[in-house]
Amino acid sequence: MAEAAERWERAGSGPGADRWDRRPGPAETLRVYGLIVRMWVRSTMAYRMSFVMTALGNFAATALDFATILLMFSRITVLGGFTLPEVAFLYGTTSTAFGVADLLMGSMDRLGRRVRDGTLDTLLLRPAPVLAQVAADRFALRRLGRITQGGLVLGWALLRVDVAWTPGKVLLVPVMLVSGAAIFCAVFVAGGAFQFLASDASELQNSVTYGGNTMLQYPPGVFARELVRGVTFVVPLAFVNWLPALHILGEPDPLGLPRWVDFLSPLVAVGCCTLAGLAWRAGLRSYRSTGS
């Protein structure tokens, strides 16, 4: 199937070749993504009561993580060297960033199912970018619940946390949220690309996405040094919130990295997205239809 599409692309002549010849640009991808998202939102709103319940459920599901932290702090005052507002700051930043990525790209883990049952072929036949179609597939508006919950905790943390705010630190907060969301989006896309190879292994990416999000809610000092190294250098989740947050909170870095590293989140995000895009392209090229 992918081969056929490529042949179309390469042909570059004949009637209508103009349409197939061009690689979809980012603008086209975004436009298609928006169209599909709008359709799913309207479909969700057909069962309004169910939407309200699932959005509340999504809010509450995320809140459970914070409830765990609150329950812990009902017995202690400091965890891994961090006070409750400081942990809440970590929690709020990663939850909001992850929530945005989950809303935008969370459907990527359905790709494996489409590869298995052959419905991906339908997407390949449509004159629209496949990434946009897969990412917007069954767009789940209920995931606003997670963003809302993370945002509320972040708001509370910003009010309570003991920080001498400078313009630089204030600016770092939105920068880390945007970069963090982009890094998580890249992980979702890379996970999707991996499902071209192992269509059954969609749960594997949960360990990086949901697992990573859980990990980033706790101070880095809590974890074994190798684990922190892993999420700094291998899957650079530490740039979502740990490193910039350590700078804002004025806490020492357990790995002892130079302080300018704390500001690298946007660069790391761009790098992650580029790599994920390449992985996606390679995955799509390697796709062979089940033929059913």
Residue nearer to another protein on the CB measure, 61 or 178: 61
- The burial class, CB within 10 Å (0-12 / 13-18 / 19+), for 229 is middle
User: Which member of 27, 159, 164, 224 binds another protein (CB under 8 A)?
Assistant: 224
202 binds another protein (CB under 8 A): yes
For residues 11 to 50, the per-residue mask of contacts with another protein, x marking binding by CB under 8 A and - elsewhere, is ------------------------------------x-xx
The answer to whether 187 touches 235, Cβ cutoff 8 Å, is yes
Kindly report the number of other CB atoms within 10 A of residue 82's CB atom.
20
User: Which member of 4, 35, 198, 278 binds another protein (CB under 8 A)?
Assistant: 198
The answer to whether 146 touches 59, Cβ cutoff 8 Å, is yes
Interface with another protein (CB under 8 A), residue total 38
Residue nearer to another protein on the CB measure, 215 or 238: 215
Q: Which residue has the tokens 């530490």?
A: 238
The answer to whether 177 touches 93, Cβ cutoff 8 Å, is yes
200 binds another protein (CB under 8 A): yes
Write down the least CB distance from residue 36 to another protein, Å. Answer: 20
Nearest 5°: the CA angle 51, 52, 54 is: 65
Write down the least CB distance from residue 220 to another protein, Å. Answer: 10
Side chain identity at residue 123, one-letter code: L
Task: Look at residues 60, 86, 19 and name the one whose alpha carbon lies nearest to residue 248.
Answer: 86
Stretch that binds another protein, among 73-81, 169-177, 253-261, 281-289 (CB under 8 A): 73-81
The answer to whether 85 touches 122, Cβ cutoff 8 Å, is no
The answer to whether 143 touches 58, Cβ cutoff 8 Å, is yes
User: Which member of 27, 71, 164, 234 binds another protein (CB under 8 A)?
Assistant: 71
- Kindly list the residues in this chain that would bind another protein in the complex (CB under 8 A): 47, 49-50, 52-54, 57-58, 60-61, 64-65, 67-68, 71-72, 74-76, 78-80, 198, 200-204, 206-207, 211, 214-215, 218, 222-224, 227
